[in-house]
Amino acid sequence: MNKSLLIISCSGRKIKTPGRMPAFERYDGQSYRIIRKAIREGCFPANLDILIISAKLGLLRWGEEIEYYDLLMSKEQAHKLRPSIQENLESFLDGRDYDKLFVNMGATYRETLEGFEWKKHFNEKIEAKGRIGEKSSQMKSWVRGQSE
């Protein structure tokens, strides 16, 4: 079975519960709701991993425990985080065998990945396009399609 990777951005909408909690529980934006619904409905593919780009914390794994924070990604922050995000992404991908990649994030978040050598790790890379609702719809279809 081929493995796939989804990379999404953090969310401005967060659960404000104090203390640490898994990133997928802390973030509460549209992408996270789509993924949690797919999990609840048994439509989440076992061969799919998810990474998150955080405006404050850089590259996160789906279940990584994080504190609440409030920081928007700016161009300056994206440029500051780019080297560490790309280094951590390269380390994460090293030794893993992924076939497909789907990236769903806004333009400022995408700047953190600018210049990364995708072809070295993936046969297929898809980036969500359009407005937020269109991107969410594309991601939902892609995620659900990975389990077929």
pLDDT per residue over 52-103, tens digit each?
Answer: 999 999 999 999 999 999 999 999 999 999 999 999 999 999 989 899 999 9
The domain that holds 92 is classified in CATH as 3.40.50.10630
Question: What is the C-alpha to C-alpha distance for residues 85 and 96, in angstroms, rounded to an integer?
Answer: 17
Does residue 1 surpass a pLDDT of 60? no
Give the per-residue pLDDT at 148.
56
- Prediction pTM value: 0.94
Count of domains observed in the chain: 1
Helix axes 132-145, 30-40, angle to 10 degrees: 30
Q: Which three-class secondary structure state does DSSP give residue 124?
A: strand
Q: What is the mean pLDDT of residues 6-24?
A: 96
Residue-number span of the structural domain to which 126 is assigned:
3-145
Give the per-residue pLDDT at 95.
87
Higher pLDDT, 1 or 11: 11
